[in-house]
């Protein structure tokens, strides 16, 4: 079975999320046309290892992702939009000792799916750095790609967590799937309820009442 040609096209895309993490997006339909079975990618086989190595070599060329002298954690899942998504994360050597080298990447259940007809979405970041890393990612890709996604985007701190609230979402936005897939790498969907937002307003601390993504880029990345 020939290895999938590594190139930045509709079949495969490499994105740098942070200095320590990249994401590779594969089109499942295109893989099928190339007679590449998803099972062959998630098994710890010579084929999968060669393909992952080739992906990392390409990532080094395209986005400067260096993995020499580093342990790499590989996670994979199938999105509801029909993409096979592989995340490569460089981890510290002390953490690497706790990870089994014999384990192979398995497709994970899609993080809590968002009903794209909802006008409100609330995402939780466990650390403030997760929020700023998401802002960095959007800034690197050109923030204009998601401008106009929602009329109001707020950020709150509550019980030592950070919550990004999207209100009046434009469900017809051309990059809606891209944004939902991207943010799932940094935070998790916790609610589509206005009631939960009311709780954040009443009991939490307001960091940005509106324009939370644009302000995050301005105040925390370009200061």
Q: How many domains does the chain have?
A: 2
Lookup result for tokens 């080094």: 60
pTM over cut 0.75: no
User: pLDDT digit string (tens) for 163-191?
Assistant: 999 999 988 888 787 788 888 889 988 88
Q: Is residue 90 domain-shared with residue 124, that is, in the same domain?
A: no
90 in the same domain as 124? no
Answer yes or no: is 82 within a domain. yes
Please say whether the beta carbons of 6 and 53 come within 8 A.
no
Residue 164: what pLDDT?
A: 96
Please report whether residue 23 resides in a domain.
yes
Q: Do 183 and 136 fall into the same domain?
A: yes
Can you give the pLDDT at residue 85? 84
Judge if 42 and 88 occupy the same domain: yes
Residues 130 and 90 in one domain: no
- CA 87 to each of CA 19, 77, 136, 143, 157: distance values in angstroms, whole numbers, following the listed order: 13, 9, 17, 22, 28
Residue at a domain's end among 108, 128, 150? 108
* Whether residue 74 is found in the same domain as residue 133: no
In a domain, 147, yes or no: yes
pLDDT in tens, 24-59: 888 776 666 566 666 666 666 677 788 888 889 999
What pLDDT does residue 6 have?
Answer: 41
The verdict on 169 and 213 lying in the same domain is yes
Domain co-membership, 33 together with 125: no
Out of 54, 87, 108, a domain closes at: 108
Are residues 86 and 131 located together in one domain of the fold? no
Do both 92 and 139 map to the same domain? no
CATH of the domain at 201: 3.30.70.1950
Per-residue confidence (pLDDT) for residue 92, from 0 to 100 = 67
Residues 176 and 202 in one domain: yes
Q: What is the pLDDT along the chain (223 residues), one digit of tens a residue?
A: 344 444 444 467 898 888 899 988 887 766 665 666 666 666 666 777 888 888 899 999 999 998 887 888 888 877 766 678 888 998 866 555 555 444 445 554 444 444 566 888 999 999 999 999 998 888 877 766 677 889 999 999 999 999 999 999 988 888 787 788 888 889 988 888 888 899 999 999 999 999 999 888 888 776 5
Domain for residue 66, yes or no? yes
Residue 35: CB atoms within 10 Å:
9
If you average pLDDT over every residue of the chain, what do you get?
78
The reply to whether 64 and 132 lie within a common domain is no
CA distances from 14 to 24, 41, 124, 141, 151 (A): 5, 17, 25, 12, 30
Full residue range of the structural domain in which residue 89 is found: 12-108
Give the three-class secondary structure for 63: helix
What pLDDT, on the 0 to 100 scale, is given for residue 156? 96
Q: Classify residue 139: in a domain, yes or no.
A: yes
Is residue 134 in some structural domain? yes
- Tell me if residue 26 falls in helix, strand or coil: strand
70 domain residue, yes or no: yes
Which residue, of 108, 137, 169, is where some domain finishes?
Answer: 108
């Amino acid at each position: 079975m020939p290895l999938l040609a590594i190139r930045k096209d509709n079949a495969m895309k490499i994105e740098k999320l942070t200095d320590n993490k990249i994401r590779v997006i594969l089109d499942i339909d295109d893989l099928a046309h190339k007679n590449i079975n998803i099972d062959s990618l998630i098994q710890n086989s010579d084929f999968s290892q060669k393909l992952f190595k080739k992906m990392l070599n390409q990532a080094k060329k395209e986005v400067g992702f260096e993995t020499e002298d580093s342990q790499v954690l590989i996670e994979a899942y199938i999105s509801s939009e029909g993409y096979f998504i592989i995340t490569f994360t460089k981890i510290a050597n002390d953490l690497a000792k706790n990870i089994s080298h014999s384990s192979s990447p398995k497709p994970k259940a899609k993080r809590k799916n968002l009903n794209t007809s909802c006008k409100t979405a609330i995402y939780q970041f466990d650390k403030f750095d997760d929020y700023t890393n998401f802002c960095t990612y959007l800034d690197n890709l050109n923030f204009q790609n998601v401008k106009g996604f929602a009329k109001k985007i707020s950020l709150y701190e509550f019980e030592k967590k950070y919550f990004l609230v999207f209100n009046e979402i434009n469900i017809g936005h051309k990059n809606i799937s891209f944004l939902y897939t991207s943010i799932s790498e940094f935070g998790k969907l916790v609610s589509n309820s206005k009631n939960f937002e009311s709780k954040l307003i009443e009991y939490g601390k307001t960091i940005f009442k509106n324009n939370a993504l644009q302000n995050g880029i301005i105040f925390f990345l370009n200061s």
